[in-house]
Amino acid sequence: MYIHIVKYILNIEFAELAKLIEEDLVEDNDELVRVILLKSNIITASYVENEGIVFKMEDILFRTEIGIFDLADLCILHEIRKDENVKNTRI
């Protein structure tokens, strides 16, 4: 249930609130924590400050499966990283 709340909060671009919820609700799920943090970083453009985004390809696949990432997110990641794996990911 909480994943639907987090997805909604991320979709309306309340990244900081999603980070707070993530800290409280998903302590035992590292994969989901990485998903929420990456999406939050994209929304807040904190990747610009941190000079890039680091992620695992498995995380991208997991993100698209649970519906946190969409086509726009993949386009942004591809633009940031110029990563062919991101470009070839199917939603």
Cβ-proximal residues to 65 (8 Å cutoff; 6+ apart), any chain: none
Which alpha helices (H) appear in the chain, and where do they start and end?
2-11, 15-25, 30-44, 46-49, 57-66, 71-81, 84-87
For residue 74, name the pLDDT band (cuts at 50, 70, 90): confident
Reported as a single tens digit per residue, the pLDDT across 3-23 is 677 777 777 777 777 777 766
Q: What is the mean pLDDT of the chain?
A: 69
pTM of the model: 0.58
> For position 36, what pLDDT does the model report?
76
